[in-house]
A and B are shown apart, each in its own frame.
Chain A
């Protein structure tokens, strides 16, 4: 088991309830997409899984770790095993790409190595190999404030790939990328998780991308789980119901021909090509 949430609720200090009664389990190696309208609670759910926020109700067990205990020593051991891709890449502009990627291992490296790496990057080869998979190897020594938004987002992904986490949490990981690159990057992320047997949970705005790259789809609406189904069983009616507040059209990557119909998107051949 990778994580198990049992009746988890999250109420912020200001009284706003972001999550209520979430029960969700994932086995090691599963790939789950979270979809739902904005404000539904996708980011909150990822924050609970990433130990950034402690649930205010229920029990959360993450990587066999009872999170509600909040033991600092335990968290210290747990956190290097969780990699989070943030929607806005949390990388200082003046940092170089190589340093930003290597920072993924700060929780695993001994302190001397992390300190020395500030003076001379100690694993240039590893950082470059990771960046190569995201088509960014040429930016290895560039400064992050020289990158475009899409490139920076991929640096954030590269950091988590380099971290080799057992549980990868991704919050809108490809929102700043154009459709073709978004698809390729989501595939890369899924392929990495599959190859290492890591669990991947990603919140995605584009429904077609979610259906294409993730075997399991969890729909979230108003802080609750609306449905939790294999991608093949997600019907158009369910989706329209989920996004009822956002109008008639479903959010998709773009109006590219192969993504226009959900039927085609659900086609096993397409999915095989994707993941």
Chain B
């Protein structure tokens, strides 16, 4: 037996402690800035207002006239989402191909494409919509263009990353045997990545439905406009009917996504043509849906490219330069940045805790409906409700973010926990460990990287959302922008948009760094 000196100290302890302290030092002022006061939820006067409002939800409005409006608005929302996503795909496929390192023999990133994508993604779709409404007037065209640009940037980035994340060996082998890059990707990478690409695209379509709802708030038509009117008149019955319609749409999108994944999983039939009834009907339905959407919305893109339109665009854009950089204004924008950051961090953290609790295996079944409901209502709609519950201000924004994000993260967490290896937890159960501890020691470590990555990705999305929650009075940069734009103070608005862009880039970088560190 060796000499047994005193047991060594845990070398990781110091790092853990300082990490926890650092997190506390950073989070404390952020929670302060978000005016985190859970007590406000239980304030009697607030409770009365929200209770009164929610009581008005029942029964949902079912009048024939309203239902006709609702049906038309639903179709419009679907059409905006579909047309916007089609435009996004047209933008995303070539840009993603240019940006990705997949299939390149020397993985060089394309910095130019990447920074273009960052700008497209960094400005929230609602801000694009607000700008396009100014150029093209009220109506769905602004919404479609805004969706196309933002989602084009997002899809391109994610397509590029998915292609980079699959096993590169097949594509490398093809390239070395003389295939071009495009063919190497099609033959070597696409079969591995197709499921992921398809389900992400459908997921984005679902997001586009929610986003097109939100764009109604700035006058781009669809369900959002209807919702805006209902909320302004505190008409709970109509709001309830509209919310139920959201849920139906989101559940339907879920169903389509599941069907598509299963279809891609089905082994091919034993014949030369790879197209079965599913692919053929899909190939028929998809273009006709896109064409029908553009037709329904009566968007004439030819009109957008006339000399007159170009002139008015040029004039409008010129109004934004130079941005207002006076120290007074910069100080206010700085405060807005800090508040927006606080809303996004607090909202995401609250959602991570609630989502994990709701995703725990034992409790899952009764709560999956709750998660889907939380998820199907857009943040901006939640914000109009939380503003009633806790009053206008950043805490209402953080709560709204938290509610929607809980639905998203809870679902993703549940999937990640399902996919985590079961053996470690099972083995601990067999050695007599209680269920909770087997989860903490066996299952959670296996799923943790996935959970952390999902949370951080969500934070990247939430910073963009937090930036626009101010449109309904939840503080932060959005409030400044909305205010200045309605006063036609374009130089000031331009500073705010630049601040949003910088903030979202900074959050992307921080999130990537944290993902690397916590791996």
Contacts and interface: CB of A to CB of B under 8 A. Distances in A.
Contacts of A84: 427, 430-431
A158 B438 CA distance: 18
A103 B433 contact: yes
Contacts of B440: 114-115, 118
Contacts of A82: 430-432
A160 B421 CA distance: 20
A106 B10 contact: no
Contacts of B437: 106, 111, 114-115
B38 interface: no
Contacts of A39: none
Contacts of A83: 431
Interface stretch (A89-97, A177-185, A264-272): A89-97
A257 B448 CA distance: 48
Nearest to A114: B437
Contacts of A90: 421, 423-424, 426-428, 442
Contacts of B8: 124, 128, 140-141
Interface string B147-178: 00000000000000000000000000000000
A255 B355 CA distance: 56
A80 B437 CA distance: 13
Interface in B394-449: 421, 423-424, 426-434, 436-438, 440-443, 445-446, 448-449
A201 B436 CA distance: 29
B434 A111 contact: yes
Interface in B29-64: none
Contacts of A128: 7-8
Contacts of A94: 445-446, 448-449
Interface in A47-96: 50-52, 76-84, 86, 88, 90-96
Given A93-B446, A120-B13, A52 B430 contact: yes
A141 B12 contact: yes
B431 A79 contact: yes
A265 B442 CA distance: 40
A101 to B, nearest CB: 11
Contact of A103 (B2, B6, B426, B441): B441
Query: Max chain B CB contacts within 10 Å: which of A51, A86, A92, A129?
Result: A92
Chain B binding surface, main DSSP class: helix
Nearest to B424: A90
A75 B449 CA distance: 33
Interface residues on A, range: 35 or more
B11 interface: yes
B7 A124 contact: yes
B4 interface: yes
Interface in B1-34: 2, 4, 6-13, 16
A212 interface: no
Contacts of A80: 431-432
A26 to B, nearest CB: 19
Given A90-B423, A103-B441, A124-B10, A108 B446 contact: no
Interface in A124-140: 124-125, 128-129, 132, 140
A132 B4 CA distance: 10
A144 B61 CA distance: 58
B2 A132 contact: yes
A236 B380 CA distance: 78
Interface string A225-253: 00000000000000000000000000000
Given A141-B11, A141-B12, A50 B424 contact: no
B446 to A, nearest CB: 4
A19 interface: no
A92 B445 contact: yes
A121 interface: yes
A52 B431 CA distance: 10
Contacts of B434: 76, 106-107, 111
Contact of B432 (A88, A106, A140): A106
Given A88-B423, A95-B441, A121 B432 contact: no
A241 B13 CA distance: 56
Contacts of A199: none
Given A50-B430, A80-B432, A82-B431, 15 more contacts: A79-B429, A79-B431, A79-B432, A82-B430, A83-B431, A90-B428, A92-B445, A99-B441, A103-B442, A106-B431, A107-B431, A107-B432, A120-B10, A141-B11, A165-B431
The 9 A-B pairs with the shortest beta carbon distances in the complex, nearest first, are: A107-B432, A80-B432, A79-B432, A106-B433, A92-B445, A125-B7, A90-B427, A90-B423, A92-B446
22 contacts: A52-B426, A76-B432, A80-B431, A82-B431, A90-B421, A90-B426, A90-B442, A92-B424, A95-B441, A103-B441, A103-B442, A106-B433, A107-B432, A114-B437, A115-B437, A118-B440, A120-B13, A128-B7, A128-B8, A132-B2, A140-B8, A160-B431
Interface of B: 2, 4, 6-13, 16, 421, 423-424, 426-434, 436-438, 440-443, 445-446, 448-449
